[in-house]
């Protein structure tokens, strides 16, 4: 007798058991969940609170989404629909990749919870929007001539996700202060200067607050992305270097 296997814990691994009800659809549930995540963060999200916002009981939600984990998979996939990836016919793969990376970062900053949950959202990569995103990147890097596009994709996404996670966490801290980013940094600067005073190579970085913090963040992101793309360019066969 064959051993009984447990169902795969992912919304993408099962069929939706019931059609959407006119008054409460899966799409409506996901939209409201994203609004709640954006406004209050992951810790505040629960099926009970979400049901209250939708004027529905948790039982009604479970007809469309079996668990909170499934809800997070759906929310992640919905957010990925906002990321723009140029077509594989783009003449400059670096410019196209930069556009995609910037769009990913912008999406992650609009949804501060997104980047931090990508490794925790079950089999989110099986969602239709995330699949489409991955396919478009694969087409872009294949057209550019990378012999193993998945490695190039992983390298770029590791950088973008890492930077976006840190940046989103910082901006969440700023938002909780109720101040503008510039005002928050100005108030924090004296403590930062004291902390760095005895560190020769760091003290200069805290000499004065930047007049435009958002511009500084943009420049940091662009610099790191250029370094990553410089390295990937050396892996293209027509550059004469060994491929990854």
The string of pLDDT tens digits covering residues 96-105 is 999 999 999 9
Co-location of 235 and 127 in the same domain = yes
* Contact predicate 136/88, CB 8 Å: yes
Evaluate whether residue 75 is within a structural domain.
Answer: no
pLDDT in tens, 18-60: 544 456 888 999 999 999 999 998 888 888 899 889 888 777 8
pLDDT in tens, 52-72: 898 887 778 888 888 888 899
CA 156 to chain centre: 13
Residue 192, both tokens: 């930062």
Co-location of 168 and 107 in the same domain = yes
- Domain count for the chain: 2
What's the helix, strand, coil split of the chain in %, to 5?
65, 0, 30
Co-location of 125 and 221 in the same domain = yes
Any residues with CB less than 8 A from the CB of 116 and at least 6 apart, and which?
42, 165, 168, 169
| Domain containing residue 24 | 15-66
Co-location of 40 and 113 in the same domain = no
Evaluate whether residue 85 is within a structural domain.
Answer: no
CATH number for the domain spanning 165: value is 1.10.357.10
pTM summary value: 0.84
Evaluate whether residue 131 is within a structural domain.
Answer: yes
Residue 229 has pLDDT above 80, yes or no: yes
Co-location of 107 and 226 in the same domain = yes
Co-location of 30 and 125 in the same domain = no
């Amino acid at each position: 007798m064959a051993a009984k296997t447990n169902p795969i814990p992912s919304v993408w691994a099962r069929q939706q058991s019931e059609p959407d009800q006119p008054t409460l659809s899966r799409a409506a549930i996901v939209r409201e969940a994203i609004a709640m995540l954006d406004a209050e963060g992951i810790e505040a999200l629960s099926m009970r609170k979400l049901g209250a916002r939708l004027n529905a009981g948790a039982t009604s939600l479970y007809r469309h989404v079996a668990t909170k984990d499934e809800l997070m998979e759906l929310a992640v996939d919905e957010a990925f629909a906002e990321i723009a990836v140029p077509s594989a016919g783009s003449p400059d793969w670096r410019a196209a990749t930069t556009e995609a990376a910037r769009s990913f970062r912008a999406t992650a900053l609009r949804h501060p919870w997104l980047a931090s949950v990508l490794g925790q959202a079950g089999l989110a990569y099986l969602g239709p929007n995330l699949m489409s995103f991955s396919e478009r990147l694969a087409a872009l890097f294949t057209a550019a001539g990378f012999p193993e596009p998945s490695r190039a994709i992983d390298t770029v996404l590791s950088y973008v996700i890492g930077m976006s996670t840190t940046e989103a966490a910082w901006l969440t801290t700023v938002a909780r202060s109720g101040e503008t980013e510039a005002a928050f940094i100005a108030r924090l600067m004296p403590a930062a200067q004291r902390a760095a005073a005895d560190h020769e190579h760091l003290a200069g970085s805290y000499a004065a607050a930047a007049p435009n913090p958002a511009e500084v963040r943009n420049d940091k992101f662009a610099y790191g992305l250029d370094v990553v793309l410089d390295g990937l360019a050396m892996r293209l066969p027509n550059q004469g270097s060994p491929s990854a």
